[in-house]
Amino acid sequence: MEFIPTRLEEVIIIRPRVFEDKRGFFTETFRLNKYNQAGIRKPFVQDNLSGSVRNTLRGLHYQILNPQAKLVMVTSGEILDVAVDIRRNSPNFGKYVSCVLSYKNREMLYIPEGFAHGFFVLSEQATFMYKCSDYYNPAGERGVRWDDPDINIDWPDADPVLSEKDQKLPFLSDIGEQDLPE
Ligand SMILES: Cc1cn([C@H]2C[C@H](O)[C@@H](COP(=O)(O)OP(=O)(O)O[C@H]3O[C@@H](C)C(=O)[C@@H](O)[C@H]3O)O2)c(=O)[nH]c1=O
């Protein structure tokens, strides 16, 4: 299992060791001692699963009352995953990293607290699984517009399938300090 820092070093790509044989493959996706050694120490308390059709974009989401670190993976299909540093005092405020996660490459992404997260579905369908370090709290649900010009994410499509909620999210520059993580 390899832990590879991205250009925002707190966001980490996890490349698991995959054992292939005539039946298919086997891989460990989460193992506390190895994650701890790599500096990922937040215990996870919630697992989520979502399925999405091609061109779906979910995001950019974060929780302000119960901030969540996330370990995300794709169990079918292919997505472009994006994490944006929105910690109000961070030198990287507004910067993002993106990477392709797929059933085929079996890579995962660790996104710490303080980052907004979203993804775009590149395949006909994608199944997305993730662990969270705190519970979902609807009262603390926050988000940033996917097409915020200040963040300027290079999405593969200019007209994605969005939830009603995600269409109405604010731009980063319109979010008050109290609604941004430290
Ligand atoms: C995220 C979440 C949603 N829900 C409910 C609320 C709502 O009625 C329904 C669908 O929720 P959403 O539209 O917010 O689902 P979705 O757009 O998939 O939200 C997710 O997007 C990605 C990008 C993330 O980073 C996640 O943390 C999460 O915010 O599920 C829960 O009950 N528990 C949860 O943990």
**Distance (Å, rounded) from C-alpha 152 to C-alpha 161?**
18
Total structural domains within the chain? 1
Residue 33 in any domain: the answer is no
Q: Given the residues 35, 130, 135, 136, select the one marked as catalytic.
A: 130
Residue 118 in any domain: the answer is yes
Q: Which residues of 73-97 are buried (b: 16+ CB within 10 A; e: fewer)?
A: bbeebbbbbbbbbbbeebebeeebb
SS (H, E, C) 54-114: CCEEEEEEEECCCCCCEEEEEEECEEEEEEEECCCCCCCCCCEEEEEEECCCCCEEEECCC
* Residues 6 or more apart in contact with residue 69 via CB below 8 angstroms: 40, 42, 110, 111, 112, 113, 132, 133
The pTM (predicted TM-score) of the whole model is: 0.97
* Residues 6 or more apart in contact with residue 14 via CB below 8 angstroms: 1, 2, 3, 4, 71, 107, 108, 109, 110
At 7-23, the pLDDT tens digits run 999 999 999 999 999 99
Q: Are 120 and 160 in contact (CB under 8 A)?
A: yes
Residue 2 in any domain: the answer is no
At 95-107, the pLDDT tens digits run 999 999 999 999 9
Instruction: Give the range of the structural domain holding residue 71, as residue numbers without chain letter.
Output: 43-177
Q: Is 117 a catalytic residue?
A: no
Residue 8 in any domain: the answer is no
Q: What is the CATH number of the domain that holds 68?
A: 2.60.120.10
Distance in Å, CA 50 to ligand 1 centroid: 8
Distance in Å, CA 127 to ligand 1 centroid: 14
In the chain, % of residues over pLDDT 90: 99
Residues with CB under 6 A from ligand 1: 48, 50, 58-59, 61, 117-119, 136, 163, 165
Instruction: Indicate which atom in ligand 1 lies nearest the CA of residue 163.
Output: 13
* Whole-number pLDDT of residue 42: 86
**pLDDT-based confidence at 117, cuts 50/70/90?**
very high
Residue 37 in any domain: the answer is no
At 45-62, the pLDDT tens digits run 999 999 999 999 999 999
Instruction: Indicate which atom in ligand 1 lies nearest the CA of residue 59.
Output: 23
Average pLDDT over residues 87-91: 97
ipTM (interface predicted TM): 0.98
Q: What are phi and psi of 166, to 5 degrees?
A: -70, -25
Residue with tokens 């200040």: 150
Average pLDDT over residues 72-77: 98
Residue 20 in any domain: the answer is no
Distance in Å, CA 1 to ligand 1 centroid: 28
Instruction: For residue 49, give the nearest of 130, 106, 133 by alpha carbon.
Output: 130
Neighbours of 153 (CB within 10 A): 18
Residue 170 in any domain: the answer is yes
Q: How far is CA 58 from the centre of its chain?
A: 10
Distance in Å, CA 141 to ligand 1 centroid: 9
Residue 130 in any domain: the answer is yes
Apex CA 109: angle with CA 9 and CA 176, to 5°? 65
By most ligand atoms within 8 Å of CB, the mutation choice from 136, 137, 145, 146 for ligand 1 is 136
* Whole-number pLDDT of residue 83: 98
DSSP state at residue 121? E
